[in-house]
Chain A
Amino acid sequence: MGQSVEIKDVWKSFGGFDAVRSATVKIQAGEFLSLLGPSGSGKSTLLMMVAGFLQPTSGKILIGDEDVTAVPANRRGIGMVFQKYALFPHMTVFENIAFPLKMRKLRRSEIESRVGQALDLVKLRDLGSRLPIQLSGGQQQRVAVARALVFEPPVLLMDEPLGALDKKLREEMQFEIKNLQQSLGVTMVYVTHDQEEALTMSDRVAVMNHGEMQQIADPKTLYREPGSPFVADFVGKMNLIEVTYVDQTASGALLKTAGGNRFSIQNLAVSTPDPERPMKIAARPETIALSRRNETSGTLLEGTIHQCVFMGSMTMVQVIVGPEDEVVYVQTEADASYKPGEVAYLEFDGSRTSLFAHGPDEN
């Protein structure tokens, strides 16, 4: 059964540079938490510290109730699956999976039965005598999972484990790993830069950028109520438009784009109406309605159609608003037929649009 993992105000600096800044999160026993972020965001560094391969510069890491910050990696009892699997090339599949048990000095018969179970678990029953090099990428992945699970660790860490697989296999493995994790009840910390993967697999996702945890939330909240422009932009497709507040009218908040176009949004909550302060609105392509005529009572944002991309179940329309060719993506039904150059109007849904103060420290 899983154990909780607590990361308490963990910092890591490399020669004056802070790779991880004040990371704090409590992962419940049996929870699936993803660390999501672009490369260099500090997510792998944080995972390495949980695994015990790196020492935090300051802060604490607890597994269950035990402070393991000073415990070396080989005594933490955490399972880990590495980016390129890190299978021992000179050992067979059986020997690879038996290795953690051998290190724990289990009896030979015990090792054999448990490796057998682990092989069954990952559906590789007949491949025990193969060498890793004789396996496909997906099979190697499974061996790595079996090796990490065979000693029944309370916590399992995975560092972009599916990065090397092709798309179809990756999706298959996502479900398998998720099922395995749930049925074993093991606590999972999963590092990925693929936001789709994080959303489909996790109970909660911690989004990291520049060493900081920007937001920790369940996938739905993360998608619908991003806590910062970075999260909004990184998770899913998001339009970020720079605006300033003008006035509150009958048809909602009246805003002005950087190019001077005015438009209003119904039901948009503006906490600090300050005409001086630049802001950003964040709206997903599927929350914006597109029309050829401005037929509502409010003022809609006017734009010019740039391009329509047919994507199977829908069509993505790129609309240029403002003089500086800012593109807004709008998702329409599959057979929408807009032509480049046509004038169109964008209607935002205030309840599904976020507003961010455009601070000086954001990029």
Chain B
Amino acid sequence: MRTSIAAKILFASFIALALFLMVLPTLIVFPMSVGTSNYLEFPPKGFTLDWFVAYFGDEEWMGATWFSLKVACATTLAATAIGTMASIALVRGRLPGKSLIYALTLSPMIIPHIVIAVALYLFFAPLRLTGNFYGFLIAHTLLAVPFVVLTVSAALQRFDPMLELAAQSCGANSIQTFYHVMLPGIVPGVAAGAVFAFLTSFDEATVAFFISGLEGKTITRKMFEDIDFNLTPIIAAVSTVIVGASLLLMTAVHFLQNRQRG
């Protein structure tokens, strides 16, 4: 082939540089979180775990973290259940206007979150649902269900409907068929959907910014405030914790997705 070696090297270094810039912002938080300096500085000097200690010792940070975790866990449960049920109806059910319902289902992913955020803020405020656990649960479940529907309906489409017929011919009713045959078949998809739902809620910042209150405040809202007003290295420590947890979950999803293909 006539592609010159120089061109190949040029292309490879472009890719390498682009990839480096892509992962750099994720990786940079690790050294930042252990630097001793009190203000932003790169490369950081020294080594300390003080910022982690500060994070875990700060009441407000911990409150926001627990609130986020609580909301994310409840969202995961609600979105996984609601989304799985909806997927079954959409893939295997008899419904009129399925494609319209499907488009509506995915719309919270595409509609700008600022619009949803402002709309929910104006809706929740008079109902005293801002800064409220249930307000967050509604908002985040709404945002998370589309991801669950995407992964679960993909799993259902790969799942052989003949197996369900076989279960019925063996005498199983709809519930037994779901529990004994369908669910074990799509469980990797459901689990992946659950992880997506968790991350969607835990990482969600735009809606959380608007519907947080003084009491009920998510970790994303707390981070936003701190980045905007007093940029302390605690943020780097928090970021490190979040990135570490996200990477673990992401690896889990990767293995879950590979399992169903096997």
Contacts and interface: CB of A to CB of B under 8 A. Distances in A.
Touch test A–B (CB under 8 Å): yes
Interface of A: 51-53, 72-75, 77-80, 82-84, 86-90, 99-100, 103-104, 147-148, 151, 157
A99 B172 CA distance: 9
Nearest to A74: B168
Contact of A82 (B165, B171, B176, B181): B165
3 pairs of A and B residues whose beta carbons are closest in the complex: A86-B166, A103-B171, A100-B170
A51 B166 CA distance: 10
A86 B163 contact: yes
A86 B160 contact: yes
Q: Is the interface of B mostly helix, strand, loop or mixed?
A: helix
A78 B169 contact: yes
B161 to A, nearest CB: 9
A83 B166 CA distance: 11
Contacts of A148: 169
A78 B168 CA distance: 10
B139 interface: no
Given A53-B165, A77-B171, A100-B170, 5 more contacts: A88-B184, A90-B184, A99-B180, A103-B172, A147-B170
A83 B172 contact: no
Interface in B29-61: none
B170 A99 contact: yes
A74 B162 contact: no
B98 to A, nearest CB: 15
Given A86-B160, A90-B184, A74 B172 contact: yes
B160 A53 contact: no
A82 B169 CA distance: 10
Interface in B135-193: 160, 162-163, 165-173, 176-177, 180-181, 184-185
A265 B165 CA distance: 53
B171 A100 contact: yes
Contacts of B162: 82-84, 86
A73 B162 CA distance: 13
Contacts of A73: 165, 168-169
Nearest to A83: B162
A53 B173 CA distance: 12
B176 A103 contact: yes
A99 B177 CA distance: 11
B114 to A, nearest CB: 44
Contacts of A78: 169
A80 B165 CA distance: 9
A77 B180 CA distance: 19
A88 B167 contact: yes
Contacts of A87: 166
A157 B168 CA distance: 14
Contact of B185 (A80, A83, A89): A89
Nearest to A84: B162
A148 B184 CA distance: 21
A89 B158 CA distance: 13
A84 B166 CA distance: 11
Given A83-B162, A84-B162, A103-B176, A151 B169 contact: no
A1 to B, nearest CB: 19
19 contacts: A52-B168, A72-B168, A73-B165, A73-B168, A74-B169, A74-B172, A80-B169, A86-B160, A86-B165, A88-B180, A88-B181, A89-B163, A89-B185, A99-B167, A99-B180, A100-B170, A103-B176, A151-B170, A151-B171
Contacts of A100: 170-171
B166 A80 contact: yes
Contacts of B170: 74, 99-100, 103, 147, 151
Contacts of B160: 84, 86
Contacts of A90: 184-185
Nearest to B165: A53
A80 B181 CA distance: 16
A283 B176 CA distance: 54
A83 B172 CA distance: 20
A86 B167 CA distance: 9
Contacts of A104: 171
Nearest to B173: A74
Nearest to B174: A74
Nearest to A76: B169
B20 to A, nearest CB: 42
A159 to B, nearest CB: 9
Contacts of A83: 162
Contacts of A82: 162, 165-166
A78 B166 CA distance: 11
The winner among A83, A89, A104 for most chain B CB atoms within 10 A is A89
Contacts of A74: 168-173, 177
A88 B176 CA distance: 14
A163 B59 CA distance: 68
Nearest to A75: B171
Nearest to A151: B171
A223 B181 CA distance: 43
A75 B185 CA distance: 24
Nearest to B181: A88
A79 B169 contact: yes
A251 B172 CA distance: 67
A151 B181 CA distance: 19
A153 to B, nearest CB: 9
